[in-house]
Amino acid sequence: MDWPVAVVAGGTSMLKSLFRERRRARIVNAILERDLGGEAETLRRLVETAATSFNAPFALLSLIDSDRQWLVAAHGVELTCVPRDDGFCRCALDVSGVLECCDPPGDPRFAQLPVVTGDPHVRYYIGAPLRLSNGIDVGALCVIDLVPRRPASADQRAYLVALARQASLAIESSDDRFVRMSA
């Protein structure tokens, strides 16, 4: 049987996405199973720096597996985990640069999230992926505000990407076993 090209191409893309998600989940679970040691303090400082540099009440560094968003370091939040589908950061995975939303209630990707429709009523989000040296995004470093904001400047966006890169390096330097496992 001759398959239409669109179906084959779409199926290949979907299959690659599925394998990428399985690799991401495997790597995130390996990271979560070990003690980050001294790198945990480094990650906390990077989150604090992100919150301060954006003058924002919330900043998070999360690792995202197939079902959950694990908050490894946080500023202004006491949570440790949220369902993956209830968070913004899932959309920051596999993007180049940053994901920014200046109007979550008006954005169909985020309008129905519990943190947008209810407390704390998020009105601004910017996040950069945590990309490991093997090319897999395992989470995001993000800044959140409860008031609308103008889009971040190019310098602010670049700074957040640089902080996310530092966080990725800190995660990798604590134990490269998961990088070898996923290569």
61-100: pLDDT as tens digits: 999 999 999 999 999 998 889 999 999 999 999 888 999 9
pTM: 0.86
The CATH number for 5-182, chosen from 3.30.450.40, 3.40.50.300, 3.90.1150.10, 3.50.50.60, is 3.30.450.40
Domain boundaries, the chain: 5-182
Helical (H) or strand (E) element with 72: strand 68-75
pLDDT of residue 176: 54
167-177: pLDDT as tens digits: 999 998 876 55
The answer to whether residues 88 and 107 touch, using CB atoms and an 8 Å cutoff, is: no
- Indicate the range of 29-43, 45-59, 110-124 predicted with least confidence: 29-43
Residue 20 has pLDDT above 90, yes or no: no
172 Cβ neighbours under 8 A, 6+ residues apart: 132, 133, 179
Give 4 or 122, the one with higher predicted confidence: 122
Of the ranges 1-5, 64-68, 160-164, the best mean pLDDT one: 160-164
